[in-house]
Amino acid sequence: MELFLAFIFYNYHKLEEEHLSEELFLQMKNYSFFFDDNRFDMDIVPKVEENALYELYFDDKHLYILASFLEDEESSLKIFYPLEKYNTLLDNMTSKLLWQFALLSLISIIISFLFALYTLSPLRNSLKLLEEFIKDIIHDLNTPITSILINLKMMQTSEEAESIAQSANAIAMLHKNLDVYLRDHLLEKEKFYVKEVLEEQIKFFQSLYDYLDWHIEIENSIVSSNKNALSRIVYNLLSNACKYNTSTGFINIIMHENRLTIVNSSYGINNPKRAFDRFYKESDRGLGIGLHIVQKLCNELNIKKQLSVKDKVVTLFLEIP
């Protein structure tokens, strides 16, 4: 819209400039017959064959026309108008057009904004309904997932039951991820031993990815954070470290004082700077929200993070308050 208005302004300015020159030309021509306009001056100059009569000319100081002077064939009547005054008229005209252009631009922006609101309103309503629907599903899933996990603990230990428990835990983790992603609420901080949170998540992923080489060094440090949120962060980081690892890869987890380091082999990350962007993923696996949830929770808990990739080895540091 703005480019279209600028194009119109440019062409209209050219037309107005030509109109101004044409108007002055007609007034000077009229002056050559009646000499009744004090805006113009005149002079008698030698006739030059190259200069036709009653044509508009420009020089360094004037706009002028040449008119016939009585019956003298050797001289011409030069009627001129100061170039400085002409430029002033041109500037005033340009200023007026600019104000009109600014007003039209403002009107077009307002109309475009209102039109965008009108056209996007059904989409916003649909997204709101979808979000509410997903929240309701998450709420309804909570009860059966909890029931499954409780009943599995009561069953006798078997390979089948353990497999079902792992699947149920995976669904529960996804449920909690979606809940964190959709709900905005303040996270209350508490002091707790971080080892319990780390070991819970490590145990879960070790059973699923037992073919990886795990190296674990954890100090039982006390941190001030939100326990559930930190559990979400560790879960998503380990989930990515396992899913995008190689078949003969490794995972090193080191917790020293308040610094958590996770190092893992991988197939490499093409865009490390975009790894925490919402919906960004480098393969067809996953939803692209796991690391975005990590970013969101780290920001809320003032946890500093740093990701680096070198020779297909991914290193991530977390500084937990």
pLDDT tens digit sequence for 114-147: 888 788 777 777 777 666 656 655 555 555 566 6
Report the distance separating Cα 151 and Cα 90, nearest Å.
87
Query: Looking at residue 17, what is its pLDDT?
Result: 84
For 106-114, which contacts have Cβ atoms below 8 Å and span 24 or more sequence positions? Answer: 108/1, 108/2, 108/5, 109/1, 112/1
Residue ranges, CATH 3.30.565.10, the chain? 187-319
What CA dihedral angle connects 315, 319, 320 and 321, to 10 degrees? 180
Query: By the 8 A CB rule, do 65 and 32 touch?
Result: yes
pLDDT for the residue 155: 63
Q: What is the mean pLDDT of residues 101-123?
A: 81
pLDDT band at residue 250 under the 50/70/90 scheme: very high
pTM of the model: 0.49
Q: What is the mean pLDDT of the chain?
A: 79
**What pLDDT, on the 0 to 100 scale, is given for residue 76?**
84
Spatial contact of 134 and 178, defined as CB atoms under 8 Å apart: yes
Fold of 187-319: Heat Shock Protein 90 (3.30.565)
What's the pLDDT score for residue 86? 87
pLDDT tens column, 161-191: 666 666 666 666 666 656 655 555 556 788 8
* Six token digits for residue 115: 């039109």
Which residue would you say has higher pLDDT here, 131 or 204?
204
The pLDDT value recorded for residue 230 is 87
